[in-house]
Structure 1
C-alpha cells in the first residue's frame, strides 16, 4: 500500500476549504490502496484581530470589487456544491467576517488528541451552517465539545496563549513558501495542488504523484 502525506493549508472562514476537503475525501474513496496521513495547517483570510465584524456580502463585495448581487450568486453556487457534498452551508450568506486565530489554536490542540479533522469540520459547520461567530470563545468551546474534546480544557486554552506560537509559525512558514490562497494541498512536501479541485482531478493528481513516489 502506497502512503502519502498531505499538508492541507486552509482557513475556517474559507468555504472552498471545506469544499476542498470534502472533494479530497471523495477522491480518496476511489483510491482504496492509498494510505494518507493528513495534517491541517493554519491560514488567515482576516488576520486583523481588531477589525470590526461585518456582514459577509458587503465585505466580499468590497474585497473583490463586485456587486453584492454578484457575491450573493457566487455564494449560492457554493451552497449548491456544498449540499451535493453533504456539507451544511445553509447560513453562509448570513455570517459575519471574523478572525480565526483562536479557532486555529484549538485545531492545533485537537491534533494532539487525533481530533483535528473533527474539530475543523465542527468549525466549518458552525460558521457556514449556523452563521456562528467562530472567534467567540463560547462557540469555540462548543465546537470542541462536539468534536469529542473537553470543553473546560478548551476554555482554559482559549483564556491563555496555548498553541499561539504554533499557529503563528504555521502562517508565517506557508506565507514564506509562497502560499497566498487556500485551500493548498502539499503532497509529500514536494507537490502543490491549489484550490478545491474536482474529485476526479484530485484523484488523478494523487495517482500521478503516487506513480512518481516510492511506496
Structure 2
C-alpha cells in the first residue's frame, strides 16, 4: 500500500466497537481483539460507540444475578456457571472479574455521555477501560455522578467539568442519536465490531478469529 507520494505505508485498520460498559463480553471481546492486533502486528484505530443493555433500568439499578436470571430466564446455577466461565476467560486475557452476590446492574447513559465528552480530549479509550474496571473489578455504581466524576479524575480529566456535563446534559441528545443509529442499523446485541466500516462481527469471537479477519483485511489493503 502506498501514500500520495508513492511511499510504502503500513495499513491502518479502522475498528468501530459498539458496546456497553456493564457488558462483560464487551471487555472480553476487546481483550481478544487487542491480542489479535498484537498477534498480527497491524496498526489499528479503535473508536467506541454507545449501546445501553438496559436503557429503561431504574435509577437505583437491580441486583445483577436477579437481573440476569429474569432477563434471560436462567437458573441460579446457570448464572453462577456463567460468572465462573467469564472469570476464567477474563483471567486468560489479563482482566479480572470480581463478581459478588450484591453486585448491581445499572443504567449507563451517563457513562456514555462522559465517554463522548472524553473523545476530543484524547481520553475516550482510557475512560472506557477505566469504566470497565470500575464496574467489574471495583463494583462501582456507574449511574452515580460522584462515582463517575472520580473515575474521570483518576485518568486526568477535569472532575468539575465532568459533573457539569452530566448536570446540563449537553451531550445527551448526541448520544441518543448515535445509539439510535446503531440500533437502526440492526445492532441489538453487543459487542458489535465493525472493521473498515463495512465488516460486522457480532460477539466476542476469540483472538484467533479476530486475527484471521484482520489478516485478510490487511492482505486486501496491501493488494490495492
Q: TM-score range by the shorter chain?
A: over 0.9
Q: Distance in 2 between matches of 1:96 and 1:193?
A: 29
Aligned to 1:127: 135
Q: Post-superposition shift, 1:91?
A: 3.0
Aligned to 1:210: 218
What SS does the corresponding residue of 2:176 show, helix, strand or coil?
Answer: helix
Q: Deviations over 1:114-144 (max 9, x none)?
A: 1111101111111111111101001101111
Aligned to 2:28: 19
Q: Distance in 2 between matches of 1:84 and 1:206?
A: 21
Name the stretch that deviates more: 85-94 or 146-155: 85-94
Q: Deviations over 1:30-88 (max 9, x none)?
A: 122x2211110000001015365221111101111110121111011101111221213
Alignment partner of 1:191 out of 192, 199, 204: 199
Larger Rg computed on CA atoms: 2
Aligned to 2:144: 136
What are the equivalent positions in structure 2 for 1:47-62 lying under 5 Å apart? 47-50=55-58, 52-62=60-70
Aligned to 2:40: 31
Alignment partner of 1:201 out of 203, 209, 223: 209
Aligned to 2:163: 155
| TM-score relative to the length of structure 2 | 0.91
Q: Deviations over 1:1-41 (max 9, x none)?
A: 11111110000110000111111111111122x22111100
Aligned length in residues: 214
Q: Distance in 1 between matches of 2:77 and 2:106?
A: 22
Superposed CA RMSD in Å reads: 1.5
What SS does the corresponding residue of 2:14 show, helix, strand or coil?
Answer: strand
Q: Post-superposition shift, 1:210?
A: 2.1
Q: Distance in 1 between matches of 2:101 and 2:84?
A: 8
| TM-score relative to the length of structure 1 | 0.94
What SS does the corresponding residue of 1:4 show, helix, strand or coil?
Answer: strand
- Point out where structure 2 has 5 or more consecutive residues left out of the alignment: 1-9
- Point out where structure 1 has 5 or more consecutive residues left out of the alignment: none
Q: Distance in 1 between matches of 2:216 and 2:28?
A: 22
